[in-house]
Amino acid sequence: MTKHLRIDLDELSKELLTMGAMVEEATNRAINALVRRDKNLAREVIAVDDAINDHENRIEDHALKMLALHQPVAADLRYIITVLKVNNDLERIGDHAVAIAERAVVLAGLEPVPRPEDFDLLVQTVQRMMKESLTALIEHDAALARSVCEMDDEVDRVHRLMYSAMQTVMRNDVALIESAVNTISATRHLERIGDLATNIAEDVVFMVEGEILRHNY
Amino acid sequence: MNRLLRSRFLWELYAGYAFIIVATAIVVGLMLVHDAERGVTDDIRDALQRDAILVRDIAAPFVDAPPDSAFELRIRALGARTGVRYTVIAADGRVLADSNEDPAAMDNHRDRPEIMAAANNGMGTSTRFSRTVAANSMYLAIPVMKQGVLAGFVRTSETLEAISARRAAVRRSVGLAMLLPVLAALVLGLLVARSFTQPLINMTDAARAVAGGQEAPRLHVQRPDEIGELADALNAMTEQLHNQLDTMAADRNKTLAILAGMVEGVVAVDRDERVVHANAAAQAILGIDARTALGRRIWEVMRVVEVSDSLGEAMRQNRVRVSEVRIPTPLKDQVIQLTATPLRNGADQIDGAVVVLHDVSELRQLESVRRDFVANISHELKTPLTAIRGLVETILDDRQMDRDTHDRFIEKIRDQSTRLGNLVSDLLTLSRLESGPGGLRFEAMDLRETVAESVRTQTHVAETKRVDLHLGVPERAVTIEGDSEAMRELVDNLVSNAIKYTPSGGRVDVKLVAESGSAVLEVADTGIGIPPEEQGRVFERFYRVDKARSRQLGGTGLGLSIVKHVALAHGGSVSLKSASGRGSTFRVQLGLKPGETPRREGFAVSQ
């Protein structure tokens, strides 16, 4: 492998991990804004989305240039393709974080709904999936990536519980319908973040083992 | 010893020496053997010649005579006695007598080499196989002359077995004579070589151990020569190195201890942004583990973009970079100030960077509290002032105002100015308490009096509001060291708050007890209570659970803050138990004056 490719790959890793850190932070902030009913924090998340999108474009540009310039093969090729895919997933997680933040802005101005305990579990699981899928990417750890894929079942289960919990809230108190609908919407975005984290984990397995895991779960 | 035998130096040193010794011994031995062997042959030939000369005299009369059996017998007897073979031969080659053989059965000897040589030169020798004795033999022949005419030959011979035996004996003794000194020299040489090699091996071991960073034993080489000096130098070097290593280790430990003990997080990276060091505080702030993070890229091990950015920029721009980052944590965001400084090596090149993470969350929190306080106080002061100004302006504008309205306005002005006065005096009390214990006069005081006095002055308010006010104090004095005025404020605030927030028909219990070294004042009401999430904040200045209601009730928002500060200034504490709608119980705990602690049974009745 040429030295230039090595340097470029390092640079690409750094950019991707920076992107990962930005998105993870945005997600955590959006969740905090939602839980703390903090409008200002939510607006900060919405404001940072442009930076995330710019970063996505930069990474894609860089990765495509590398493909054209170095014409990498085998593991390097897999790595660059994984970077492109993960990059895309991260950008979409960023979009969902913004969506959660928008719900948080709306919810902060509404009567609070009683928060089911399962909500904290959902938040924790999604945050853990985000964190561990990125860790698996950095460490090239296929085992950790597979465990992230398995966590998605838990997210789906809790998500369904949230639906029925919110239905009960609405049935009991008509005044809370708007809050409950927004809460469901935020939960739905959280669930989607879990799915995208699973995608990243699958991409990591592909990168490490060359095996395509998608749609097997 | 094994190491010694495998030592190249030993064998290089010893091989030449051993070769010279062995080669010399072999050469000298061979020369000696050669000389000795020649001597043996010469001796035998001389003996044979002597014998031949003697036999010639005996044989002279018979050589030209016909065969004589007596002569024959005589020769045979002679041979038997000396062990030498004698042969007497006529000039024409016929054998006349022989000590070992019947002459009649023998060939003509004229063509024998020794005979031919003797006929020509006067003497002849030959060494060859003898069929007669079936062995290698040496022959010597001399002519027998009569009046200058060749009359016959006398030949003597001896088998070479005798010669070989003597030669072997000579070789053996020469060999033995050489072997002993050679062995001695070889052993001695080995010892000498060893005495050079062994210290060198020891020194090599020691040097290798030092190079490997291990503890090296002191070398004991007592030699006056260069090897001894080398050992001494090596010892000195080892010791010096050890001292330096110890100093370095101590320095390093000190530095690590300082770094570990720092509240600020410190992360150092090298030129490639790989983590070189991360102290405990940094690990906690960034959520990393130094054991796995060391040697890896900083942006791989943690997800705070600003940290790696500031390190990278500090290196690229070669300047100190200060920035601030908010790290979201579930409860509240941590505000971290980052100071990234490039590190330069000896050649003044940038060799890495270090970032100091300073947790300024509390500082920022205090700043916001101060900002809030200034905003609050301005608001609190402005509200009554606006009201007063409005009332005064109305009175000034409306000259025809009727007496009743006029009086009502004046009363309102009085109420607002009283409120303003309360606010200012509360603020003064707070600032006095905050300026430290210097503003307080501590003296022994009976807390019972303060509590009773406070309850007495507020009985009227309670009665007006139809709130049941109860007081319970022990029989014995509850003596504390305190500022009576501040204590009075504390009790007043608690009691008036309790009455204020308790609706008509409610009940307020003021209870003072002394237990295990502390005085405990409990003020319990059956009022509106405080929701759990607000309980932590009610002691903050200007914090009101319900702003509208509090102001309506004439509160300044400073009462509980004063309670807390008075308790703290007296080394005590305040706690709160409350539930929404079920009243609140404030509990103030203060230390009793030492020596005044009542025995337990002394106040049991009062409870």
Say whether B284 sits in a helix, a strand or coil: helix
- Tell me if chain A has a CB within 8 Å of the CB of B328: yes
Mean pLDDT of chain B: 83
Q: Looking at the partner chain, which of B305, B330, B333 has a beta carbon nearest the beta carbon of A18? A: B305
CB-based contact B330 A134, cutoff 8 Å: no
Contacts of A134 in chain B (CB under 8 A): 303
State which residue of chain A sits closest to B308, comparing Cα positions: A18
Total beta-carbon pairs less than 8 A apart between chain A and chain B: 33
Q: How far is CA B184 from CA B18, B21, B153, B193, in A?
A: 11, 10, 55, 14
Contacts of B305 in chain A (CB under 8 A): 18, 21-22, 25
- Pairing state between β B468-472 and B507-515: parallel
- Tell me if chain A has a CB within 8 Å of the CB of B533: no
d(CA B105, CA A67): 117
Closest by CA to B413, choosing from B438, B442, B392, is: B392
Give the mean model confidence (pLDDT) for residues B554-563.
79
Location of structure tokens 């214990």: B437
- Tell me if chain B has a CB within 8 Å of the CB of A143: no
- Tell me if chain B has a CB within 8 Å of the CB of A15: no
State which residue of chain B sits closest to A14, comparing Cα positions: B299
B106, B95 contact by CB (below 8 A)? yes
Q: List the beta bridge partners of residue B283.
A: none
Q: Looking at the partner chain, which of A17, A25, A29 has a beta carbon nearest the beta carbon of B299? A: A17
pLDDT band at A6 (very low <50, low <70, confident <90, very high): confident
Over the stretch A171-217, which tens digit does the pLDDT of each residue have? 888 878 888 888 888 889 989 999 999 999 998 888 888 766 555 44
State which residue of chain B sits closest to A23, comparing Cα positions: B303
State which residue of chain A sits closest to B298, comparing Cα positions: A14
- Tell me if chain A has a CB within 8 Å of the CB of B258: no
Q: Would you state the pLDDT for residue B420?
A: 87
HSE on the CB side for A171, CA within 13 Å? 6
Chain centroid offset of residue B79 CA = 97
CB-based contact A17 B300, cutoff 8 Å: yes
CB-based contact A13 B330, cutoff 8 Å: no
Over the stretch A130-176, which tens digit does the pLDDT of each residue have? 888 888 887 888 888 888 888 888 888 888 888 888 888 888 888 78
Q: Is the pLDDT of residue B166 over 80?
A: no
CB-based contact B303 A32, cutoff 8 Å: no
Contacts of A13 in chain B (CB under 8 A): 297, 300
Chain A: closest CA distance from residue B275 (Å):
15
d(CA B489, CA B564): 11
Q: Would you state the pLDDT for residue A123?
A: 86
Contacts of B297 in chain A (CB under 8 A): 10, 13-14
Chain centroid offset of residue B557 CA = 60
Positive or negative torsion for Cα B330, B335, B336, B338 = positive
d(CA B266, CA B80): 117
- Pairing state between β B85-90 and B95-98: antiparallel
Closest by CA to B126, choosing from B83, B155, B94, is: B155
Q: How far is CA A69 from CA A15, A207, B145, in A?
A: 18, 21, 121
Chain centroid offset of residue B284 CA = 24
- Tell me if chain A has a CB within 8 Å of the CB of B308: yes
Query: Could you tell me the two tokens for B334?
Result: 């941590």
Closest by CA to B394, choosing from B403, B381, B406, is: B406
Task: List strand residue ranges (DSSP E) for B52-165, in order.
Answer: 85-90, 95-98, 124-130, 135-146, 149-159
Q: Would you state the pLDDT for residue A54?
A: 92
- Tell me if chain A has a CB within 8 Å of the CB of B274: no
- Top-confidence range, A93-97, B61-65, B219-223, B440-444: A93-97
- Pairing state between β B584-591 and B518-525: antiparallel
pLDDT band at A95 (very low <50, low <70, confident <90, very high): very high
Say whether B295 sits in a helix, a strand or coil: coil
Angular region, B557: left φ>0, alpha ψ -120 to 50, beta rest: left
CB-based contact A32 B297, cutoff 8 Å: no
Query: Could you tell me the two tokens for B116?
Result: 């031919």
- Tell me if chain A has a CB within 8 Å of the CB of B442: no
Contacts of A20 in chain B (CB under 8 A): 303
Give the mean model confidence (pLDDT) for residues B29-58.
85
B574, B567 contact by CB (below 8 A)? yes
Between residues A88 and B174, the one the model is more confident about: A88
Query: Could you tell me the two tokens for A94?
Result: 């960023």
Q: Which residues contact B289 (CB under 8 A, 6 or more apart)?
A: B283
A28, A31, A134: best to mutate for the B interface, most B CBs within 10 A: A28
CB-based contact B305 A22, cutoff 8 Å: yes
pLDDT band at B248 (very low <50, low <70, confident <90, very high): very high
Query: Could you tell me the two tokens for B285?
Result: 């702030």
A22, A55 contact by CB (below 8 A)? yes
Q: Which residues contact B484 (CB under 8 A, 6 or more apart)?
A: B443, B445, B450
A25, A45, A120, A130: best to mutate for the B interface, most B CBs within 10 A: A25
Give the mean model confidence (pLDDT) for residues B472-486.
85
A11, A15, A17: best to mutate for the B interface, most B CBs within 10 A: A17
Contacts of A29 in chain B (CB under 8 A): 328
A7, A10, A32: best to mutate for the B interface, most B CBs within 10 A: A32
d(CA B277, CA B583): 55
- Tell me if chain B has a CB within 8 Å of the CB of A17: yes
CB-based contact B333 A14, cutoff 8 Å: no
Chain B: closest CA distance from residue A41 (Å):
10
CB-based contact B299 A22, cutoff 8 Å: no
Rg value, chain A, Cα? 19
Q: Is the pLDDT of residue B198 over 90?
A: no
State which residue of chain B sits closest to A127, comparing Cα positions: B330
Over the stretch B295-309, which tens digit does the pLDDT of each residue have? 888 888 887 888 888
Over the stretch B363-385, which tens digit does the pLDDT of each residue have? 888 888 788 888 888 888 888 89
Contacts of A24 in chain B (CB under 8 A): 303
Angle subtended at Cα B112 by Cα B111 and Cα B117, rounded to the nearest 5 degrees: 95
Q: How far is CA B287 from CA A23, A131, B327, B479, in A?
A: 17, 12, 11, 51
Burial of A119 (0-12, 13-18, 19+ CB in 10 A): buried
Query: Could you tell me the two tokens for B567?
Result: 């308790």
Instruction: Count Cβ atoms below 10 Å from residue B576 Cβ, excluding itself.
Output: 14
State the angle between helix axes of A74-108 and A39-70 in degrees (0 to 180), rounded to the nearest 10. Answer: 160
Location of structure tokens 């809460």: A183
Contacts of A10 in chain B (CB under 8 A): 297
Query: Could you tell me the two tokens for B354?
Result: 């270090």
Rg value, chain B, Cα? 65
Query: Could you tell me the two tokens for A158?
Result: 């809790």
Q: Which helix (H) or strand (E) holds B597?
A: none
Q: Would you state the pLDDT for residue B602?
A: 38
CB-based contact A21 B303, cutoff 8 Å: yes
CB-based contact A14 B328, cutoff 8 Å: no
Q: Which helix (H) or strand (E) holds B336?
A: strand B334-344
d(CA B400, CA B422): 33
pLDDT band at B600 (very low <50, low <70, confident <90, very high): very low
Chain A: closest CA distance from residue B282 (Å):
18
d(CA A3, CA B2): 50
Q: Would you state the pLDDT for residue A3?
A: 80
Say whether B537 sits in a helix, a strand or coil: coil
B573, B510 contact by CB (below 8 A)? no
Contacts of B299 in chain A (CB under 8 A): 14, 17-18, 21
Q: What single DSSP character describes residue B297? A: B
Chain B: closest CA distance from residue A17 (Å):
7
Q: What single DSSP character describes residue B101? A: S
CB-based contact A32 B308, cutoff 8 Å: no
CB-based contact B328 A25, cutoff 8 Å: yes
Positive or negative torsion for Cα A55, A60, A65, A67 = positive
Contacts of A25 in chain B (CB under 8 A): 303-305, 328
Closest by CA to B95, choosing from B104, B86, B82, is: B104
Closest by CA to B198, choosing from B218, B232, B227, B226, is: B227
Closest by CA to B447, choosing from B576, B323, B592, is: B592
CB-based contact A25 B303, cutoff 8 Å: yes
Q: Looking at the partner chain, which of A10, A29, A131 has a beta carbon nearest the beta carbon of B328? A: A29
A203, A89 contact by CB (below 8 A)? yes
Location of structure tokens 């052993």: B187
A204, A137 contact by CB (below 8 A)? yes
Task: List strand residue ranges (DSSP E) for B505-602, in order.
Answer: 507-515, 518-525, 573-578, 584-591
State which residue of chain B sits closest to A27, comparing Cα positions: B328
Chain A: closest CA distance from residue B284 (Å):
17
Q: Would you state the pLDDT for residue B605?
A: 36
pLDDT band at B151 (very low <50, low <70, confident <90, very high): confident
Contacts of A14 in chain B (CB under 8 A): 297, 299, 308
Query: Could you tell me the two tokens for B424?
Result: 């200012």
Say whether B240 sits in a helix, a strand or coil: helix
Q: What is the ipTM of this complex?
A: 0.72
d(CA B479, CA B446): 4
pLDDT band at A89 (very low <50, low <70, confident <90, very high): very high
Q: Which residues contact A24 (CB under 8 A, 6 or more apart)?
A: A130, A131, A134, B303
Helical spans, DSSP H, in B435-558: 447-465, 484-500, 532-535, 547-552
Instruction: Give percent helix, percent strand, percent coil of chain B, each to the nearest 5.
Output: 55, 20, 25
Contacts of A120 in chain B (CB under 8 A): none
CB-based contact A32 B333, cutoff 8 Å: yes
Q: Would you state the pLDDT for residue B595?
A: 64
Query: Could you tell me the two tokens for B5?
Result: 């035998």
